[in-house]
Structure 1
Amino acid sequence: MSLTLRDAAAAMSEELTALSGGEQATLIARREISPVELVRAYLARIEASDDTLRAWITVDGERALAAARTAESEIAAGRYRGALHGIPYGVKDQMHAVGFPTTLATRVLDPEEMVAPHNAAVIERLDAAGAILLGKQNLHEFGKGGTIDFPYGQPRNPWNPAYSASSSSTGSGIAPAARMCTFSLGEDTGGSVRGPAAMNGVAGLRPTYGRVSRYGAVMEAYTTDTIGPLARSVADIATVLGAIAGHDPRDPLTSPRPVEDYAAGLGRPLKGRRLAIVREIAWGPGTTDEVKTVFAAAVEVLRGLGAEIEEVSLPLALYAVPLQLLSTDADVAATFVKKYLRERYERFDTGTRTRLAASSLIPATVYNRAMRARAIVRQQVLDAVRRYDALIGPTMIRPTKPIEQEQEKVESSDEAVMRLMERRIGVYPFSLANVPALSVPMGFCANGLPLALQFAGKPFDEATLLNIAYGYEREAGWWRQLPDLERTLAPMAA
């Protein structure tokens, strides 16, 4: 390829991947661009930057291109399936996809244990919508956070690769932020969709527990785990949720409630919407001054759109962190202790095995009391969300840190408590309550790293959250900001 043609191809890749999924879908439907062009553009970006960012574990370019050619032929023949037809995506490597290993980002499993027995329900539904799976994305070991040595490479933040990309669904946050796919699917136990969305500068939704089938995904914390989308725009989140939501008899915990047309109500005015700032999250002592300042500016944007904003206190929210760790970590440990933790202890990452070994020692009496206390905290959250259209606060109460600082040893119990709270207090109350929660970009801190605003709402009222977040996103405009990979990756290559 000549230099001129190579430059033209690079320019085309930049142009296509800078578009939102909705914009891409419009051009595909008009046959102004081809799904093949779009897949090639993303594969080029993966090849150029993933050696550094490590968003992906497995990518199958040939399979994706074959699916793109099929989509192109279908659309040319007038069989357009809708807004996801021909749109490339990736999934956290915690969901089965036939033809891809399910590695769970661990050294614990043998190769034969990684063979996907079938597709996850969410992948079946995206296949039916015509979306194109590029591959499986990096994560903390078994999707539970705290990994120190990543078997498939250290995930890095596209805004500054020296910084953390958050926990668990890391690759699923990095990939759409770095324009390696249009959207991702992650899994959220205590914030593992919203945290990576917040720290990588994209939108991420934790749906109501039971809104999306978990069939075909490795879900160990059965009382809390959910699957949710991450994308650069709220409109894309709405489109993906519409495709993956709904009852599935193979997952008895999914709800039979009808799936709404989430995209249809995005543009409704926000005038008269009642929002409440969660005092303990937004203005708490652990929230940095920088986050408070940026959050206050986001509140003024919402006020300018006509929202009525009050404050609400959730005094029990602080207890959500220890209570969820005492219960969901015990659930996870119960999955692994008999075979893997006992027989393959040395294969685990140090961070994971320490967490699981400690959790496996939680007495049944303590677990029982934690579950009972969870119900009390959950009720306080439910009482609040029923009084308002949404509760709001920063998704993360402090900016992301350099990777080396995130992995430093904790020297005291006080420091351990501080670390647990600062990473989790913004997200755990809504996970514990199993209500929907949506994170969107709200600006940047002084060093250029993203900060995020979270909306939490009534169970199964994702439509309202999406409407409010969409209005804020369009007015604030942060979603159009993209990391300059050529600049940020240059120091890593030097």
Structure 2
Amino acid sequence: MDKDQIAFMSVDEQGRLIESGELSPVDLVQLYLDRIERYDNVLHSWITVAGEQALAATKEAEKEIAAGNYKGPLHGIPFGVKDQMTTKSVRTTMASVIQDNFGPDEDATVVANLKAAGAILLGKNNMHEFGKGSSISFHYGEPKNPWNLEYEASHSSTGSGISVAAGLCSFSIGEDTGGSIRGPAWANGVVGIRPTYGRVSRHGGLMYAWTQDTFGPVTRTVADNALVMEAIAGHDPKDTLTSTRPVPNYQSTLDGDIKGIKLGLVKEMSTGQELHPDVEKSMNDALEVLRSLGAEIEEVSLPKAKYAVPLQMLTSDADGAAIFLENWFRTDWDRFDRGTRTRIGAAALIPAPIYNRAMRGRALVRNEILASFDKYDGLLALMNFIPPMKRGDSVEKLNSQDDVAQRMFKSRRICTYPFSVANVPALSVPTGFTDEDVPMSIQVVSKPYGEETVYRVAHAYEQATDWHSRHPDLEKTVIAAGGTS
């Protein structure tokens, strides 16, 4: 088999080959390590690559499989995690020089669950410092979009999106506060879900906003996303906010018919003066595909959704400031990235009564969104009104109040923050490319613990299109740009 073909295979395909003995998990890990060495000195999607540990673990996995102790479809599958989740014997930096030498003594629950399923930890993915999308400096290399190096790869689970899109691992686990899984999935042309709050344990992760943070998979297909979700979801006594609800068999519902399903296209997240022509066409084409599959789609207005942006920023930043003050600000103020320091420092001054009012405001937004599910099985929304921007036009210009950058961030926030505030499942699925080969996506959303509906709709759309089968030509984009030859 062609090595590139194997690298971009779905987790399901790789798992079947490993189970049948046609693919060695050791060879698969080595393939990804070789690709990381060849391409990631330009892409910068990894902070720490745990090559020796991964090879040792996969050799053990190969022995287990040969002995008939096959654990399931993730056995021998290499994965990455956003570098804000603790990993035993592998440093966890939070992408900050402050944590450069932090060596945890236990795995985060999501990592432990994946290892228990036989998956192989390949390393830690790059991110914005402490998960703040407003950070300006990347201490471990500036991440680049594998489709077009001139463009941003979004934030803050940046490395997760890049590494999956570039075929540098089989899947990754990201974290989403206001769009930090969905954004990198959108910009890099892969699938990413923000699960229902409480569906996945957050034990072992740096929680920036305890009332909103979620962990979820970033994958190349919807089916892979459902597969990984089954492995990481469920109650965890170490995270008392996790639900005791049984974890469904998400994969079993993927091929369900969506004929007659009722979907609301959110007006405030699909129309407006900022809507880019390429994004509008991509969205309309996606809607036409869904309608051809039998979905009933009509426009729905959520007028309170616009308030989610200031409410989410105020409450999440205040949550983060409380954590940072307790742990780092008093001792390491000068070592923080300027963007992080400015945003969190200001949030530390928010009075308790203002925070309380903002939390009450969040409840109003959440209730409006939840009420929509009385009529609709799910909602549809853009990921952004405009495509990803060129890297030089992104965060640096945002912090300097540049108009173009402000519009980009504002339009993404209005599309992603409401569902973060509502704590409902929201998945980003690719819908096409701009003329500059930059990906675009839509969101599929449902009620709390409605991941089955989200997966069913997104999978039906994905199977009727071919966007998931397209992959970046790294020899063209990376090697031509000066990568390892």
TM range (shorter): over 0.9
Q: Residue 472 of structure 1 aligns with which residue?
A: 461
1:334 aligns with 2:322: yes
Q: Residue 451 of structure 2 aligns with which residue?
A: 462
Q: Distance in 2 between matches of 1:416 and 1:25?
A: 41
Contact 1:281 1:287 in 2 (8 A): no
Q: Residue 25 of structure 1 aligns with which residue?
A: 15
Q: Residue 183 of structure 2 aligns with which residue?
A: 195
Q: Residue 439 of structure 1 aligns with which residue?
A: 428
Q: Residue 169 of structure 2 aligns with which residue?
A: 181
Q: Residue 246 of structure 2 aligns with which residue?
A: 258
Partner SS state of residue 250, structure 2:
coil
Residue 164 of structure 1 and its aligned partner are, at CA, apart by 0.7
Task: Give the 3 Å change call, closer, same or farther, for CA 103–196 of structure 1 in structure 2.
Answer: same
Q: Residue 347 of structure 2 aligns with which residue?
A: 359
Residue 64 of structure 1 and its aligned partner are, at CA, apart by 0.9
Partner SS state of residue 426, structure 1:
helix
Residue 413 of structure 1 and its aligned partner are, at CA, apart by 9.6
Given the alignment, which residue of 418, 425, 429 partners 1:429?
A: 418
Q: Distance in 1 between matches of 2:3 and 2:29?
A: 9
Contact 1:435 1:457 in 2 (8 A): yes
Contact 2:91 2:100 in 1 (8 A): no
Task: Give the 3 Å change call, closer, same or farther, for CA 179–281 of structure 1 in structure 2.
Answer: same
Give 1:458's aligned amino acid.
Answer: K
Q: Residue 229 of structure 1 aligns with which residue?
A: 217
Partner SS state of residue 476, structure 1:
coil
Residue 416 of structure 1 and its aligned partner are, at CA, apart by 8.1
Identity, % of aligned pairs?
Answer: 52
Contact 1:229 1:240 in 2 (8 A): yes
Residue 410 of structure 1 and its aligned partner are, at CA, apart by 4.9
Q: Distance in 1 between matches of 2:63 and 2:259?
A: 44
Residue 423 of structure 1 and its aligned partner are, at CA, apart by 2.8
Q: Residue 119 of structure 2 aligns with which residue?
A: 131
Residue 108 of structure 1 and its aligned partner are, at CA, apart by 2.4
Residue 342 of structure 1 and its aligned partner are, at CA, apart by 3.1
Q: Residue 482 of structure 1 aligns with which residue?
A: 471
Q: Distance in 2 between matches of 1:311 and 1:480?
A: 30
Task: Give the 3 Å change call, closer, same or farther, for CA 416–154 of structure 1 in structure 2.
Answer: closer
Residue 220 of structure 1 and its aligned partner are, at CA, apart by 2.3
Gaps of 5+ in 2: none
Partner SS state of residue 425, structure 1:
helix
Offset from partner CA, 1:228-247 (integer Å, 9 cap, x none):
00000000000000000000
1:64 aligns with 2:51: no
Q: Residue 40 of structure 2 aligns with which residue?
A: 50
Residue 13 of structure 1 and its aligned partner are, at CA, apart by 2.3
Task: Give the 3 Å change call, closer, same or farther, for CA 381–75 of structure 1 in structure 2.
Answer: same
Give 2:117's aligned amino acid.
Answer: A
Contact 1:266 1:470 in 2 (8 A): yes
Contact 2:134 2:399 in 1 (8 A): no
Q: Distance in 1 between matches of 2:19 and 2:275?
A: 45
Partner SS state of residue 91, structure 1:
strand
1:35 aligns with 2:25: yes
Give 1:42's aligned amino acid.
Answer: Y
| RMSD (CA atoms) | 1.5
Q: Distance in 2 between matches of 1:251 and 1:69?
A: 32
Contact 1:197 1:203 in 2 (8 A): yes
Residue 341 of structure 1 and its aligned partner are, at CA, apart by 2.0
Contact 1:386 1:458 in 2 (8 A): no
Partner SS state of residue 118, structure 1:
coil
Given the alignment, which residue of 269, 272, 278 partners 1:290?
A: 278
Q: Distance in 2 between matches of 1:411 and 1:468?
A: 40
Contact 1:12 1:41 in 2 (8 A): no
Contact 1:92 1:187 in 2 (8 A): yes
Partner SS state of residue 279, structure 2:
helix
Q: Distance in 2 between matches of 1:132 and 1:57?
A: 17
Q: Residue 7 of structure 1 aligns with which residue?
A: none
Residue 420 of structure 1 and its aligned partner are, at CA, apart by 4.1
Gaps of 5+ in 1: 1-10
Q: Distance in 2 between matches of 1:15 and 1:33?
A: 12
Contact 2:428 2:441 in 1 (8 A): yes
- Paired residue total: 482
Q: Residue 400 of structure 1 aligns with which residue?
A: 388
Residue 286 of structure 1 and its aligned partner are, at CA, apart by 2.6
Give 2:72's aligned amino acid.
Answer: G
Q: Which moved more, 1:160-169 or 1:338-347?
A: 338-347
Q: Map 1:272-421 onto structure 2 (within 5 A).
A: 272-406=260-394, 407-408=396-397, 410=399, 418-421=407-410
Contact 2:386 2:408 in 1 (8 A): no
Q: Residue 198 of structure 2 aligns with which residue?
A: 210
Give 1:186's aligned amino acid.
Answer: G
Partner SS state of residue 247, structure 2:
coil
Offset from partner CA, 1:240-285 (integer Å, 9 cap, x none):
0000000011100000000000011101111111111001111123
Offset from partner CA, 1:402-449 (integer Å, 9 cap, x none):
111102255559878645422311111100000000011000112110
Give 1:194's aligned amino acid.
Answer: R
Given the alignment, which residue of 227, 234, 240 partners 1:239?
A: 227
Q: Residue 67 of structure 2 aligns with which residue?
A: 77
Contact 1:204 1:230 in 2 (8 A): yes
Give 2:281's aligned amino acid.
Answer: T
Contact 1:277 1:311 in 2 (8 A): yes
Residue 394 of structure 1 and its aligned partner are, at CA, apart by 1.4
Q: Distance in 2 between matches of 1:414 and 1:42?
A: 40
Given the alignment, which residue of 453, 459, 462 partners 2:442?
A: 453
Q: Residue 271 of structure 1 aligns with which residue?
A: 259
Q: Distance in 1 between matches of 2:9 and 2:402?
A: 47
